[in-house]
Structure 1
Amino acid sequence: MWEDAAVRITGGMEGDAYVLTVAGELDHEDEAEFRDALTVAVQGGSGRLVVDFSGLEFADSTALHGLLSAQRLLAPQRRELVVTGPLRAHVARLFEISGTADQFSLVDSTEATRDR
C-alpha cells in the first residue's frame, strides 16, 4: 500500500485481474508512488490490469502519464488495462479534454470488468 496525505493506493490480485485502487487526490507530488504502484501491478499479474478510480477526487496529467506508460508495457504481453469508476466529473473531464478517453477501456465499475 502506498499512502500519503493526498492519495491512497492499494493493489492486489482479484481473480484473474490485478486491481489497483487509487483514492483521494493524485497529482505531480504523487507521481513516484503512482508509478511504483503501476510497476508492481504490471509485474505482479498476468491477466488484466484494472485501475479503480472510483475514489479519485482529483487527478492531473500524472494519472494519464502513468496509465499510458502502463498500457505501453502491457501491450506486448497482450494484456488489457481497464479504468473503472464511476469517475467523478473532474476526472472524467481530464480524459475528455486530453483526447485520451478512447485510448482506454473505461467502465462504470470494477464489478463490470468481471463480465469482460
Structure 2
Amino acid sequence: MIGPSRRAITSRSSSSSISSATPPNVVFIGPNGVGKTMLAQNLALHALVLGHSARFVSASAMLTDLAAQDGALALRRRLRRFAKPELLVVDEVGYLSYSDRASGHPRRHSTAG
C-alpha cells in the first residue's frame, strides 16, 4: 500500500471530519485478491456513515461514461458529477487497458520507417 500507515488510517477513520490534513490521494497497490477493493469500499462506506458524500466507481465505468458524453458541455457536467463528492473512489485503475478515446489521448502514429 502506498499512502498512510494502518495507524494513520485507523486514527483518521475515528475522526468525524475530512480535513485539509487528510491526504488528497490514497493508492492501494498489491496483487489480485488481497482486498484492495474491499478496503476502498470500506473507506467510502465509513465516509458516508460520518455524513460525508462519497462515490465508488470502476475506472472503466467512469471512462466509458465520460467517453459517451456528446460535446464539451455534457462532458463538463459529467466531470462535475464525479468531482462533487467529498470522497471519490476509482477502483481498478491500471487493471485494464483503455481505448484511445476513453483515455482522452489521441494515438500517435510514427512515420519513421
TM-score (norm: length of structure 2): 0.33
Q: Which has the larger radius of gyration?
A: 2
TM-score for the superposition, normalised by structure 1: 0.33
